[in-house]
Amino acid sequence: DVKVTQSSRYLVKRTGEKVFLECVQDMDHENMFWYRQDPGLGLRLIYFSYDVKMKEKGDIPEGYSVSREKKERFSLILESASTNQTSMYLCASSLLSPDQPQHFGDGTRLSIL
């Protein structure tokens, strides 16, 4: 079974802090994704990566950056956390082939105070 592991289930940070969310997958997937999920808004794509050191902006990249130094690890960085970044963050990975599904981690519920 594919395993996508997010480093924290719950995280509380303060406004202005730099926040790192880590995601690791164990199935040698090329693609990795970061989403945020908010009530009434569904899943929104922040960034994705299809290879080491490659990144593409999603629908809502403002205020975020990402890092992919190794194939199995994809990090989401909140450069200066703000209260409107309080959300559930979900990481996913998939193979390159378009018929392959994305596999999701359990999510990190991030609260910015």
Partner 1 sequence: GQNIDQPTEMTATEGAIVQINCTYQTSGFNGLFWYQQHAGEAPTFLSYNVLDGLEEKGRFSSFLSRSKGYSYLLLKELQMKDSASYLCAVRDRSGNTPLVFGKGTRLSVIA
Contacts with partner 1 by CB under 8 A lie at 4, 30-31, 33, 40-43, 45, 48, 50, 58, 90, 96, 98-99, 101-107
Least distance to partner 1 from the beta carbon of 57, Å?
Answer: 11
Nearby residues of 90 by Cβ (< 8 Å), 6 or more positions away:
6, 34, 35, 36, 37, 43, 104, 105, 107
Joined tokens for residue 83: 């209260």
Least distance in Å: CB of 68 to partner 1?
15
Smaller CB separation from partner 1, 49 or 75: 49
Residue 75 C-beta: closest distance to partner 1, Å: 18
Residues 85, 25, 45, 31, CA torsion sign: positive
